[in-house]
Amino acid sequence: MEWEKLPNGKWRPKKHFKKTADGKYEWDDPRYMKIRDEKMKKIVLFCEYCRDYYTLLEPCVHHLPDNYRNQKIKEEAYKQLRYKQIRNQEID
C-alpha cells in the first residue's frame, strides 16, 4: 500500500483519484482543486471597504465565505478595526 503525508504530519493510505462516470474529477482530487483555484484566481473583484481588488481565491476579510474558520478571522478583523476607530477618536 502507498502512503501519503498530510499537512498535519499524519499519514494515510494514498488515495487514487479517478474521474467519475460523467467525466468529472472528485471534489478532493488535487487536479480538480488546482483547476478550481486557477479559475478563482482569475475572478478579480473590487471591495469598496478596502478600496482594493481581491480574487475569489484570496478574498479580503469582507468577502470571505461564511464558515466557522472565516467567522473567527472576520471577528478578529472587526475587533481591530473598532480598536483603531476608538484610538482615532481619542486623538481627535
Residue among 26, 36, 47, 64 that touches Zn ion (CB under 5 A): 47
Question: According to the binding rule CB under 5 A, does residue 60 interact with Zn ion?
Answer: yes
**CB-CB contact of 54 with 63 (8 Å):** yes
Would you count residue 49 as binding Zn ion (CB under 5 A)?
yes
What span, in angstroms and rounded, lies between the C-alpha atoms of 82 and 74?
12
Interface with Zn ion: number of residues (CB under 5 A): 5
Residue 55 near residue 40, CB atoms below 8 Å: yes
Question: Closest separation between CB of residue 47 and Zn ion, Å?
Answer: 3
3-state secondary structure of 45: strand
Which residues of the shown chain bind Zn ion in the complex (CB under 5 A)?
47, 49-50, 60, 62
